[in-house]
Amino acid sequence: MTPAFVDAHHYSETVLGHIAEPHNVGAIERPDAVGRGTNPSCGDEVTLYLRFEGERVAEAKMEILGCGAITASMSALTDMAGGKTAEELMAITPEQIAEHLGGLPRHKRHCAQLAQRVLRDALKDRA
Ligand SMILES: [Zn+2]
């Protein structure tokens, strides 16, 4: 099993790929839910947009100003969100986001946590 958080100061190949070409960048014109969050410690600012079709996410996009780890975390999260219900989204953990990335350096854990917070903020917005 892939470890979620690793004692390393370099990013995995997967993380570097997401940083080079983040997935699902931009805004959704008529989102059903918008979540926002900031990370004062590394200056990350994140907005997440979700569009649902029925009970499931049809589209997830994000806008980011921040470090590589939050870029990769949000890129992974928007990939993971597709097709999920609100209940399934609520169950996503920072560990799962980090695992999806092939591991994140332990000192960047707060970035995966911010991704989860922004997701939950969006779900509150929808409710
Ligand atoms: Zn960060």
Q: What is the distance between the terminal CA atoms of the chain, rounded to a whole angstrom?
A: 35
Amino acid letter for position 28: I
Ligand 1 centre from 114 Cα, in Å?
8
DSSP symbol at 18: H
Query: Which residues, including other chains, have CB under 8 Å from residue 87's CB and lie 6 or more apart?
Result: none
Task: Check whether 127 has a pLDDT greater than 80.
Answer: no
What's the pLDDT score for residue 41?
81
Question: How close is the Cα of 60 to the center of ligand 1, in Å?
Answer: 20
Measured in angstroms, how far is the CA atom of residue 55 from the centroid of ligand 1?
31
Ordered strands of the 44-53 beta sheet? 33-39, 44-53, 56-65
Whether residue 1 is predicted with pLDDT greater than 70 in this model: the reply is no
Give the start-end residues of each E strand in 1-43: 5-6, 33-39
Domain boundaries, the chain: 5-126
| HSE-CB of 19 using CA atoms within 13 angstroms | 14
Banded pLDDT at 38 (limits 50, 70, 90): very high
| Tokens at 2, concatenated | 């892939």
CA of 115 to the centre of ligand 1 (A): 10
Instruction: Give me ligand 1 centre to Cα 97, in Å.
Output: 14
CA–centroid distance, 7 to ligand 1, in Å, is: 16
Topology of the domain covering 5-126: Sufe protein. Chain: A (3.90.1010)
